[in-house]
Structure 1
Amino acid sequence: MLQMIVSGVALGAIYGLIALGIVMVFKATGILNFAHGEAAMLSAFTACTLVRLGLPMWAVVPLTLLFGAALGMLIERFIIRRFIGKALLSSAICTLGLFLLFGDMAIWIWGKDTQELPSIFPSTPLQVGDAVVSGIDLGIVAVCATLAAALFAFFRFTRLGIAMQATMENPVAARLMGIPIKRIYALAWALSHVIAAAAGLLIAPLTFVHFSMMQHALHFAFAAAVLGGIGSMPGALLGGVIIGVSSNLTGAYVSSAWKDAVPFIVMLAILVLRPHGLLARRQVKKV
């Protein structure tokens, strides 16, 4: 069971990272980014290309993260900025269009064949008590925990992070206080796509790299974001871990046929009791 739990936490941490990027963009700009998983897929293909060019992994990782940041800023500057403040449906259709565009772009550039990306962690299994745990799983958990801690420190202790929180809370008041909210929007999209690139690097050695590699993970990431509370970034990580562990334990002890369904059943059961999510604050509007 310990082995299944650790593996589930590793998968759930990746789902939580993807959900974290989705929640960050939604809080900053009010847009649900359905193309977030495809951005991770493009980052994984970019990493594969850099590896084939002969670059070592210690250089591939930062270059891939820079690619993710640049992709996020370009999307925000030339596409998303025109939809900020507009109806949610129009922006959702826009990101669905990006979802299809990025998938076709990947097929056009890299084809439909799967590619392999080496992991930055050793695959040698480690003995933890009575269980044998993959070094890759432990490395994924460590990286996700480090990224979460770094984001917490950024939002809590830096002026830029505090300005981003103010913009997320009330963009009108933030603008009146002199905060350049357009730059904050660009930063939010850049950070979210850096997180997507990190998730792509982490999940690629587990699933191989192909044009549809993130579609399954994106479903779970949206479920994690809703479960934790669509406005809560810690909730996104918690929701990802709950979904990853419940999926792994279901596949091991119940049936593999129910492996993908049970996490959504768990999500629905929790939302019946807490419709606003596990960690999101209840919001009341007067009409």
Structure 2
Amino acid sequence: MDPYFSALVQMAVSGGLMGMAYALVAYGFQLTYAAGKAVNFGQGELVMLGAFTGISLTHIGLPYWVSVIGAMVSGAALGWFVERVAVRLAFQQRNEGWILLTIIIGLFGVSAAENIWGRDDMPYPAPWPDTPIDLSGISVTWHELAVAAGALGIMALVELAKRYTMAGIAVQGVSADPDAAELCGIRSTSAISLSWVVSGIAAGFAGTIIGPVTTVGPTMAAALTLKAFSVAVVAGFNSGFGLLIAGILLGTTENLSGFVLGSGWRETPGLVLLILALVFRPQGIFGKKIIKKV
């Protein structure tokens, strides 16, 4: 195989696997938007805080898997907190203040991380080896495989819970028609809170699988939020499969752009995809047009 072409394939595969992490973070946007028509613009900060929580637990001697559970618990608590303090308050006042409030809480999260853990990036210790796996000339690391398996696993579990548990069905009922769900005895506020808790769990888990691939630091939040939101907008807010496709597409084009055009162009594909989606397909590639009756 031609060395240049082989390098292109390597970049595409590595980028696609990392793109599944973007899809997992974007899945948190989808969960909250489906139930309450609001998203957490501090979702990247929840991922970052979950990763720092996991690192702290490993530093006191707890096993990796315990640190993962701890990160998920902290993510659940933070997701619940954001919904109760920011989103519910704004909806009670019938305004869009949740947009600014979630951003402000995210900034508080960054400030807290800098004061507790410092501004320097930290490695996230993982139990699997650093040695890459050779697949017909393509090198794949265990960290990248963990990202792919983790993203697919958590998204599949949530989708199964949404379809086959009473709580999941209740959340879907509120998503379809909150007023009708209330008439059926479903408390919409509780269903919305649950969706934010699950979104926080996904964010905390994402931090534990992204951290070993990159590093963990306060600055990781802003980049993750932008990329994940780009994935959510491009795919649409009602398609989990679409998120995976858009995430893989973004990760692949990022790596290829950085390799072919230079590292300075690495962040360009996400912005271009976001602009194109907003101009030509605002409901997302896999989204459905919403017809409003007047």
What CA distance in whole angstroms lies between the structure 1 residues aligned with 2:47 and 2:125? 16
Query: 56, 59, 62: which one pairs with 2:66?
Result: 59
**Could you tell me which residue of structure 2 aligns to residue 8 of structure 1?**
15
Code of the residue aligned with 1:243 in structure 2: it is L
Matched, 1:69 2:86: no
- Find out whether 1:84 has 2:91 as its counterpart: yes
Amino acid corresponding to residue 111 of structure 1 in structure 2: G
* Residue of structure 1 equivalent to 2:288: 281
CA offset digits 1:210-240 (Å, max 9, x no partner)? 1112211211111001100134333333222
Q: Deviation per CA, 1:48-82, whole angstroms, max 9, x where unpaired? A: 11111111112111121112112222332344322
Identify the range of structure 1 (40-49 vs 257-266) with the bigger mean alpha-carbon deviation: 257-266
Question: Are positions 1:152 and 2:159 aligned together?
Answer: yes
Q: Out of 265, 273, 284, which is 1:266 matched to?
A: 273
**What SS is found at the alignment partner of 1:207?**
coil
Residues in 1 aligned to 2:278 and 2:85: alpha-carbon distance in whole angstroms? 36
Letter in 1 for 2:151: C
Residues 23 and 236 of structure 1 are in contact (CA less than 8 Å); yes or no, is this contact kept in structure 2?
no
Q: Structure 2 unaligned segments of length 5 or more: list them.
A: 1-7
Among candidates 6, 22, 31, match of residue 24 of structure 1: 31
- Partners of 2:262 and 2:293 lie apart in 1 by 47
- 2:245 is aligned with 1:235: no
What SS class does the counterpart of residue 89 from structure 1 fall into?
coil
Which residue of the other structure, out of 261, 274, 279, is the alignment partner of 1:254?
A: 261
Which residue is equivalent to 1:193?
200
Q: Is the 1:247–1:263 Cα contact (8 Å) retained in structure 2?
A: yes
Q: Determine if contact 2:253/2:269 at 8 Å carries over to the other structure.
A: yes
Distance 1:120 1:228, change over 3 A: farther
- Give yes or no for contact 1:6–1:138 (8 Å, CA) kept in 2: no
- Counterpart Cα distance in 2 of 1:49 and 1:62: 13
SS of 2:79's partner is helix
TM-superposed deviation, 1:273: 4.1
1:133 corresponds to: 140
| 1:206 aligned counterpart, secondary structure | coil
CA positional deviation for 1:120: 4.2
Structure 1 residue 87: Cα displacement: 4.9
Cα distance in 2 for residues equivalent to 1:111 and 1:72:
23
Deviation per CA, 1:129-169: give whole Å up to 9, x if none: 12121121122111111122212211222222111111112
Normalised by the length of structure 1, the TM-score is 0.93
CA distance in 2, matches of 1:110, 1:275: 39
Report whether the alignment pairs 1:117 with 2:134.
no
Residue of structure 1 equivalent to 2:226: 219
Q: Secondary structure at the match of 1:214?
A: helix
Counterpart of 1:3, as a letter, is Q
Identity %: 33
Q: How many residues align?
A: 287
Q: Can you give the 5+ residue segments of structure 1 that lack an aligned partner in the other structure? A: none
Of 219-228 and 234-243, deviating more is 234-243
Match for 1:21: what amino acid?
G
The CA distance in 2 between the partners of 1:2 and 1:178, in whole Å, is 53
User: How much does 1:204 deviate?
Assistant: 1.3
- CA-based RMSD: 1.9
Tell me which amino acid in the other structure corresponds to 2:64. M
Q: Distance in 1 between matches of 2:85 and 2:282?
A: 35
AA aligned to 1:157 is: Y
Counterpart Cα distance in 1 of 2:117 and 2:264: 32
Which amino acid counterpart does residue 47 of structure 1 have in structure 2? G
Please identify, of 270-279 and 199-208, the stretch whose mean Cα deviation from structure 2 is larger.
270-279
Deviation per CA, 1:11-42: give whole Å up to 9, x if none: 21111111110121122122221111111111
Aligned equivalent of 2:177: 170
Aligned match of 2:52: 45
